[in-house]
A = this chain, B = another copy of it.
Amino acid sequence: MFKECLENLRNQTPLIHCMTNYVTVNDVANALLAIGGSPIMSDDEGEVEEITSICNGLDLNIGTLNQRTIASMLKAGKKASSLGHPVLLDPVGAGASTLRTKTAVSILENVKVSVIRGNVSELKALALGSTTTQGVDASSLDAVTDDNLEKMIKIFKDYAKKTKAIIAVTGAIDVVTDGEKCFVIRNGVKEMSRITGTGCMLSGIMPAFLYANLDHPLEACAAAVCAMGLAGEIGKSHLRDYEGNASLRTHIIDALMVMSSEELEKGAKYEIY
C-alpha cells in the first residue's frame, strides 16, 4: 500500500505551493525535492491565487505568521479549496499565542482543509481548547503514550469528524485518523525532536502524497508520516559519534531521496485502530 503511495508520488512530481515559515523553508523545499515532488514558495496577496492555481496542493504553515501572510494564506486557501486541491494546515504554535490559535481557527472556517498536521499540544489546543502548548514544541505534559493511547485516539477521531479533515498528530507515537480508521505509527527516532523542521518537512511532503493518492487520502498521509519517521531511522544509522543534529538533518533529507518504495513498505511500523 505505502509502496504504491510513494511510487505514485514519484511518477507525478506534484508541484506544491508552500506558504511556510522562514525558519525551515529551505529544508521544506529540499525535502519535497528529495521525496520526488517540486516546491514553489509564494506569499504575496497579488499572486497567491494565480500561483496556487498552477500547483497540485497547498501547505499552510503558520510558524512565522504575520498580518500580511495571514491574509495571503486565507486567499490562497480559498482558491485551492475552490479548485479541489489538497490543503494542509500546520498550526505551528497554536495555543502558544492568541493570534496563532485564531489564525488556525480562521483557516479551518474559511478553507476546505484536507489534513491538519501538528504536535500533540497544537492539536489538543485546537481540539479541546487546552493551553499547554510550550512555544512551538510539544509540551512535555503532552504526549501520546501507550497508557493514554485509546483516549488520544478518541479525541483525534472526534476532531477529525468535526473538522472533516484528516488529523495527523506526530510525536514519539504518531496518530493519523480520518475519524473512522486510525493509523498508530511508531517510526522515527527521539533525536528528531532536536532538529528544527522535521514537522515542517512532513507538512511539506504530505500534500504531495495526498495529490498523488487522491483515492486513498488516509493511507497517503500515513505513508508520509512513515516515510519521515523511517528517514529519521535511516539518518540516525549514518551518524558518526561526533555528529549531532545538523548532520542528522542532512542525513534525513538524503534518506527521503534515496529511500525506495520497497524500503518504505518494509520499514513502516504501524497498527490500525
- Tell me if B247 and A54 are in contact (CB < 8 A): no
CB under 8 Å from chain B, chain A span 44-76: 44-47, 50-51, 54-55, 63-68
Q: From residue A137, how far is it (CB to closest CB) to chain B in Å?
A: 6
Nearest CB of B to A34, in Å? 5
CA distance A43 to B62 in the complex (A): 12
Residues A30 and B250 in contact, CB atoms below 8 Å apart:
no
Q: Please, how many angstroms separate the alpha-carbon atoms of A107 and B238 in the complex? A: 45
Q: How far is the CA of A260 from the CA of B234 in the complex (A)?
A: 26
Across-interface contacts of A40 in B (CB, < 8 A): 93, 96, 135-136
- Complex Cα distance, B234 from A243, in Å, reads 11
A39 CB-CB contact with B under 8 Å:
yes
User: How extensive is the interface on chain A, given as a class?
Assistant: 35 or more
In chain B, what residue has the closest Cβ to A50?
A: B97
Segment at the interface with B among A16-24, A77-85, A164-172, A177-185: A16-24
* Cα distance A25–B22 in the bound complex, in angstroms: 8
> CA separation between A42 and B23, bound complex, in Å?
10
> Are A39 and B196 in contact (CB-based, < 8 A)?
yes
Q: Which residues of B contact A27 (CB under 8 A)?
A: 26
Is there an interface contact between B135 and A15, defined as CB atoms closer than 8 Å? yes
Q: Is A186's CB within 8 Å of the partner chain B?
A: no
CA distance A115 to B64 in the complex (A): 25
Asked if residues A63 and B51 are in contact (CB atoms below 8 Å), the reply is: no
Chain A residues within CB distance 8 Å of chain B: 15, 21-27, 29-30, 33-34, 38-47, 50-51, 54-55, 63-68, 93, 96-100, 134-137, 194-197, 234, 238, 241-247, 249-258
Kindly list 8 other residue pairs between chains A and B, CB separation below 8 angstroms, not including A24-B26, A234-B242, A246-B252: A22-B25, A24-B29, A39-B136, A42-B64, A45-B67, A245-B254, A246-B251, A246-B253
